[in-house]
Structure 1
Amino acid sequence: MAPTLLDLTHPVTSGMPVYPGDPEVLLEPALTTATAGVNVLALHLGSQSGTHVDAPYHVDVTWPTLDGLPLSLFTGPAVLADLRGLAPRTAVTPDQLAPALDLLTPGAVLLLATGWARHWGTDHYLAHPYLSPEAAAAIAAAGVRTVGMDALNIDRTPDPGPADPGVAALLADLTDEHDPAAAEPFSLAAHRALLGAPGGAVVAENLTDLTPLLDAQAAGRGVSVSLFPLRLVAADGAPVRAVATLAAD
């Protein structure tokens, strides 16, 4: 049996979910066969739209931009951490990652499977589990330089509130009385721990359902993944076409 290819990418569509305050996504015809003889789309989106990768520059202007990273960071054998069943806005601990970290080999991509992709397109998508600073530090210490997650953010995403007041107000009002993590300040600690690792690193977010990869890993099938981004110059990140390859049975 031939290897199986699985698309781990959310479709890019107008009005798709974005991180609160990020540019909205809009696709509309720029040229049509009726008027110009060809169809061409005009695209408006942010570098962090949909399934994407973050470069170190995303959180620190002194760290490498996307085009300064080696291609080897965007592909490799994958190890899945099964984090399904966590409550909303739960911080992942090092102990919960330990079984996956024990399986790592040099150049491996660590994929964090929370099951949160099932909430894509709903308000609950913002209430995803996230990496505690200690868990992120443990990943970096294990030598992992590529991490992917089936959720919006490896750090906690603040609730923007019903009116979505925009980035400035979002960062000024960082608690939610209904949020069990309300006392926790806004933080990019996980991003900084991973993206600031020696030699550079990348983080992929908004992957689709990783259950088939978990099943393949449990069955002893090899899993690899590619996360190649658009070649944007001096960028903080870019959308990717994320694809997993499952070895033949």
Structure 2
Amino acid sequence: MTSPSAPFLIDLTHQLTTGMPVYPGDPEVALRPVLTTDTAGVNVLRVHLGSQSGTHVDAPYHVDVTWPTLDGLPLELFTGPAVVADLRALPDRTAVTADQLAPALARVAAPGTVLLLATGWPRFWGTDRYLAHPYLSPAAAEAIARAGVRTVGVDALSVDRTPGPGAPDGEPDGEAGAAAEPALAAHRILLGGPEGGVIAENLTDLTPLLEAQARDRPITVSLFPIRLAAADGAPIRAVATVGG
């Protein structure tokens, strides 16, 4: 029988499927058999997707061609001890403030800590409302960078505001002050530090990690991407290890 305090793994990855949700304007995902055991003796799948499909990481090159590509980043950026910020009470299209992140950032002690943002938005996966997620204000992103965090993950479509449909109850798309913010401001702050950083997006529900953190159980996450050459990002298999 497994001990209640024994380490265990949690998969934080959305399954890649044909027609799955993608960021507005990104390539659609399509999986099609190209060989089958009936005709060729083996099963082989043709995979069509964008580099930002599903659960994925962004490299600095995603927002600036002079910044490092995915293959120019050290592997250490894709794994580490994790701290989870509980942002699940925030309403649609809310800009997260530095003060709201302060309790989580106060837990960041070791170099290489990964900050995970739990918005609760996976419950809207596959609906228009998934685009109406909370997002980091520039001040919040600056606070993360000042804390020395180089790897940030979120259980939503982006760390920045996503354009398009998704505001509930007929509310207008957007919020006061959003138009005045630079495009992808949080991306540029988090990815553009002196040594570069990475952002993981479209993680699945982080509630189990918040519960583990509340019990003071150590959490480590792995966010290793497919090894694409000179890429802006790539899909990942995101996995958390909850320790004893």
Q: TM-score range by the shorter chain?
A: over 0.9
Could you say what the CA RMSD is over the residues aligned between the two structures, in angstroms?
1.4
Partner of 1:148: 153
* Secondary structure of residue in 2 paired with 1:215: helix
Q: Which residue, out of 135, 138, 142, partners 1:137? A: 142
Partner of 2:99: 95
Verify: 1:181 aligned to 2:185, yes or no. no
TM-score, normalised via structure 2 length: 0.93
* Secondary structure of residue in 1 paired with 2:173: coil
Q: Shift of residue 187 of structure 1? A: 1.9
Shift >4 Å, 4+ stretches: none
Q: Shift of residue 179 of structure 1? A: 2.9
Tell me how far apart the structure 1 counterparts of residues 204 and 22 of structure 2 sit (CA, whole Å): 15
- Structure 2: which amino acid aligns with 1:201? G
Give 1:1-249 correspondences, 5 Å limit: 1=3, 2-105=6-109, 106-159=111-164, 178-181=172-175, 184-185=178-179, 187-248=183-244
Tell me how far apart the structure 2 counterparts of residues 5 and 160 of structure 1 sit (CA, whole Å): 35
Tell me how far apart the structure 2 counterparts of residues 122 and 81 of structure 1 sit (CA, whole Å): 24
Residues 100-129 of structure 1, C-alpha deviation per residue, up to 9 Å, x if partnerless?
A: 111002110000001011111111000000
Q: Shift of residue 183 of structure 1? A: 5.2
Tell me how far apart the structure 1 counterparts of residues 93 and 55 of structure 2 sit (CA, whole Å): 20
Going from structure 1 to structure 2, the CA distance change for 1:240 and 1:122 (only over 3 Å counts) comes to same
Going from structure 1 to structure 2, the CA distance change for 1:41 and 1:245 (only over 3 Å counts) comes to same
Tell me how far apart the structure 2 counterparts of residues 159 and 88 of structure 1 sit (CA, whole Å): 13
Q: Shift of residue 197 of structure 1? A: 1.0
Q: Shift of residue 182 of structure 1? A: 5.9
TM-score, normalised via structure 1 length: 0.91
Going from structure 1 to structure 2, the CA distance change for 1:218 and 1:44 (only over 3 Å counts) comes to same
Tell me how far apart the structure 2 counterparts of residues 194 and 155 of structure 1 sit (CA, whole Å): 11
- Structure 2: which amino acid aligns with 1:5? L
Q: Shift of residue 184 of structure 1? A: 2.0
* Secondary structure of residue in 1 paired with 2:240: strand
Residues 62-93 of structure 1, C-alpha deviation per residue, up to 9 Å, x if partnerless?
A: 00000000000000000000001101000000
Tell me how far apart the structure 1 counterparts of residues 157 and 219 of structure 2 sit (CA, whole Å): 23
- Structure 1: which amino acid aligns with 2:219? V
Tell me how far apart the structure 1 counterparts of residues 171 and 213 of structure 2 sit (CA, whole Å): 39
* Secondary structure of residue in 1 paired with 2:92: coil
Unaligned runs of 5+ in 2: none
Unaligned runs of 5+ in 1: 162-175
Kindly indicate whether the alpha-carbon contact (under 8 Å) linking 1:20 and 1:160 is maintained by their aligned counterparts in 2: no
Aligned length: 234
